[in-house]
Amino acid sequence: MVNKKTNEKIEKSSQNKGVLGAHPESGNLPTGVDIIEAHLRTLDGSPGVYRMINAGGDVLYVGKAKNLKKRVASYTNLNRQSTRLRRMVGETATMEFVTTHTEAEALLLEANLIKRYKPRYNILLRDDKSFPKILLTSGHPFPQVLKHRGAESRQGEYFGPFASVGAVNETLTILQRAFFLRTCSDSVFGNRTRPCLLYQIKRCSAPCVERVDEAEYGELVSEARAFLTGESQKIQRELAKRMQKASDDLDYEQAAGYRDRIRALTRVQAHQGINLAGVGDADVIAAYQAGGQTCIEVFFFRGGRNFGNRAYYPSHAKDEDESQVLEAFIGQFYDNKEPPRLLLMSQRLPNQSLIADALGVKAGRKVSVTCPMRGDKLNLVEHALNNAREALGRRLSESASQRRLLEGLAEALDLEAAPERIEVYDNSHISGTKAIGGMIVAGPDGMMKNAYRKFTIKNPDTAPGDDYAMMQEVLSRRFSRALKEDPDRERGQWPDLVLIDGGAGQLSVTLKVLEELGIEDVVVAAIAKGVDRNAGRERIFLAGREPISLPPRDPVLYFLQRLRDEAHRFAIGFHRQKRGRAISKSSLDGVPGIGPNRKKALLHHFGSAPSVEGAGLTDLEAVEGISGAMAKKIYDWFHSEG
């Protein structure tokens, strides 16, 4: 199992050399090179991790080094650095260092810090969600099999990872058909008095009502465990022997049951596509680069079975080559996952032996990282590489289509260039209550959902239903924060175009907010539905121009409609969440001593919270579970004059 506190142990066992401020005695402000040279005086040749930090306290870059002093010194020679790294050095205001015992520990810590700080100059793995697994529980006479995601805190055996929930569901279906294991919870299991539908359709052995004893069920569990660890063919051969024996004994019903189980196992093998026989647990990882982007395809094999695949698109500078991107990806990808015993790579990594050592430290066992040159393993890598090539081709095609839409939008709105970041705002409320605002963001790669923002309207002076005041508050908060956090506009968080759902009034409010904040270079447009609010007759309002309309079948118009609808969907969704939380509350929640059970009893007796508020003392005492003292407390709570 993975030691989940590996990084914490590395940090605790390492000597943190902290921050060294560079304050030259001259009155001139220090440059990035000056600051780095000042740090060099206290560094030695230990392995470790360094952080480059700007004046605002943001981490610009996290790097590892076998020799900290030698690595950091390389940044002082700007002639040997790329334009991107020269810019990074120029932004550096201070540095932090952590020494480690080994270079492998430094690599693990580097990956952990990159994921924590997301520095803009590092290669970043943007999508790193946990993978679903299958859990075979323990601690119960009749173990349960179920889908699991997240921390492995429940007692039992975990199998996976699976690339998708669909792959898990398919495997669970096979487990039900072939091994009849229960999927119900312990509480449902303990309260059954008759078999459920799953038993009737031959998906469960009904241990809840003793249709199978503990020993027989245990044998089914052992077979399922063997199946999940790659021994499905062995189980098939054993079931075939049992089927033949049952047939010879003229027990055709039992023989038919074995036949159905064999068919279920055959079906999953037929859907495996490619398999990795004789290797056991392995991940096949291939990288393909084109158009300044990289796609990394990962195939998961456990027990020789294909558990699916997933594509990743790390964020990186265009001058990073495939092997550099792949190495950075692996460090971050396995930061919170247990690596298998074998990694099959599409190309050799710059520090391949170091990567293997670091993953071995994390897993607590040997991990092999290799680039196969022939045979079945090479075929698997080439298959993954083809998938990466096709996936990146689709992504670039979609990006090209998106780029054409952005260029068309620039032409329609007479912008200087295609916008790289569009922010769309919308409000939502019901008769002025629970008012909120929503912001969505779109760019060359489509919707940027990690940049979406929600705003709860806080100004008590805002009149119910005053859309103008709500929009003013949302925009003021958004752009005041942008001015504070990124005044130099270097972090890519400023929009080129702001779209407002509304007409001339909303446009005027937006322009007024920007003017008050001294922002003059953000283009604003308001898009309003036409007569009778018909889609296709929208009018677009721009500052200092007459409203414009696009042809009903214009792709740019569809694009604007999609942006507006996405903003509306996002705002409505947030509003429903707040409304749902508000509905679940009542005036009874604040009464001392009223928990869920008493609250339920009062509402069942009186029908509503207002009825409880107006109830007399005698009526309150009549409620089951409400004592005389508690009734007096409730009555006083709602009738006290203070």
Please, which pLDDT band fits residue 574 given cuts at 50, 70 and 90? low
Q: Confidence class of residue 70 from pLDDT cuts 50, 70 and 90?
A: very high
Predicted pLDDT of residue 14: 46
**Per-residue confidence (pLDDT) for residue 119, from 0 to 100:** 93
Instruction: Indicate if the pLDDT at residue 32 is higher than 60.
Output: yes
**76 vs 39: CA distance, rounded Å:** 11
Query: Is there a contact between 314 and 329 (Cβ–Cβ < 8 Å)?
Result: yes
pLDDT given for residue 565 in this prediction:
87
User: Is the pLDDT assigned to residue 523 strictly greater than 60?
Assistant: yes
Predicted pLDDT of residue 467: 83
**Percent of the chain scored above 90 by pLDDT?**
34
Torsion sign (Cα): 470, 472, 477, 482: positive
pLDDT of 158 > 80? The answer is yes
Residue pair 367/285 in contact (Cβ under 8 Å)? The answer is: no
Residues 348, 371 contacting (CB under 8 angstroms): yes
Q: Between residues 227 and 476, which one has the greater pLDDT? A: 476
| Local structure of residue 32 (DSSP, 8 states) | H
pLDDT of residue 575: 57
Bridge partner list, 455: 437
Q: Taking Cα atoms as reference points, which of 303, 372, 386, 309 lies closest to residue 343?
A: 372
Torsion angle, alpha carbons of 377, 379, 382, 384, to 10: -70
pLDDT at 499: 94
Residue 52: the pLDDT is 95
Q: Which tokens sit at 575?
A: 């509003």
H or E segment to which residue 220 belongs = helix 214-228
pLDDT of residue 441: 93
Q: What span, in angstroms and rounded, lies between the C-alpha atoms of 294 and 328? A: 12
Mean pLDDT, rounded, for 120-143 = 86
- pLDDT exceeds cutoff 80 at 583: no
pLDDT over threshold 70, residue 210 = yes
Residue 629's contacts (CB-CB under 8 Å, 6 or more residues apart) are: none
Cα 273 to Cα 103, 299, 371: the distances in Å are 39, 12, 22
Distance from C-alpha of 178 to C-alpha of 264, rounded to nearest angstrom: 6
Angle between helices 504-516 and 467-485 (to 10 degrees): 30
Candidates 117, 76, 523, 142; CA nearest to 332 is 117
Cα separation, 300 vs 163, whole angstroms: 7
Q: Which two tokens stand for residue 266?
A: 């055959």
All residues at 6 or more sequence positions from 115 whose CB lies less than 8 Å from its CB, including other chains? 125, 128, 332, 335, 336
* pLDDT tens sequence across 231-270: 777 787 888 888 888 888 888 888 888 888 887 777 655 4
Tell which residue, 583, 571, 581, has the closest CA to residue 428. Answer: 571
Q: What is the pTM of this model?
A: 0.65
- H or E element that contains 269: helix 252-270
Q: Taking a C-beta distance cutoff of 8 angstroms, is the pair 513, 520 a contact?
A: no
The residues, any chain, with a CB within 8 Å of residue 243's CB and separated by 6 or more, are 255, 258, 259, 262
Residue 107 tokens read as 């690599």
In the prediction, which pLDDT does 2 show?
41
pLDDT in tens, 384-393: 999 999 988 8
The H or E element spanning position 270 is helix 252-270
- Residues found in the chain: 642
For residue 31, give the DSSP letter: P
What pLDDT, on a 0 to 100 scale, did the predictor assign at position 640?
Answer: 65
Let me know if 20 is exposed, middle or buried by CB neighbors in 10 A (0-12, 13-18, 19+). Answer: middle
Mean of per-residue pLDDT scores for the chain = 83
Distance between first and last Cα of the chain:
60
Token duo for residue 246: 């049952």
pLDDT for the residue numbered 585: 57
Rounded CA separation 147/166 (Å): 11
CA distance 599 to 594: 6
Cα–Cα nearest to 527, from 515, 516, 518, 535: 535
The confidence score (pLDDT) of residue 275 equals 54
Residue listed under structure tokens 């760019």:
443
Q: DSSP H helical segments within 486-595, as ranges?
A: 504-516, 555-583
Output the pLDDT for position 355.
Answer: 94
**Lowest mean pLDDT across 59-73, 406-420, 579-593:** 579-593
**Residues above pLDDT 70, as percent of the chain:** 87
pLDDT score, position 97: 94
Query: By the 8 A CB rule, do 231 and 215 touch?
Result: no
In the DSSP assignment, the letter for residue 129 is P
All domains of the chain in start order, with CATH: 6-117 (3.40.1440.10), 133-270 (no CATH), 282-393 (3.30.420.340), 422-484+493-582 (3.30.420.340), 587-639 (1.10.150.20)
CA distances from 329 to 113, 294, 334, 385 (A): 13, 11, 9, 16
Question: Is a pLDDT exceeding 60 seen at residue 69?
Answer: yes
Q: Is the pLDDT of residue 19 over 80?
A: no
Which is higher by pLDDT, 436 or 495? 495
| Crossing angle of the two packed helices 32-40 and 83-91, in degrees rounded to 10 | 80
Backbone angles phi, psi at 4, to 5 degrees: -70, -10
In tens, the pLDDT along 81-114 reads 888 889 999 999 999 999 999 999 999 999 999 9
pLDDT of residue 303: 78
CB 433 within 8 A of CB 466: no
What digits encode the pLDDT tens for the residues 291-350? 788 999 999 988 777 888 889 999 888 888 899 999 999 999 998 888 999 999 999 999
Q: Which of 31-35, 272-276, 494-498 has the least mean pLDDT?
A: 272-276
- The confidence band for 605, taking pLDDT boundaries of 50, 70 and 90, is confident
Return d(Cα 220, Cα 226) in angstroms, integer: 10
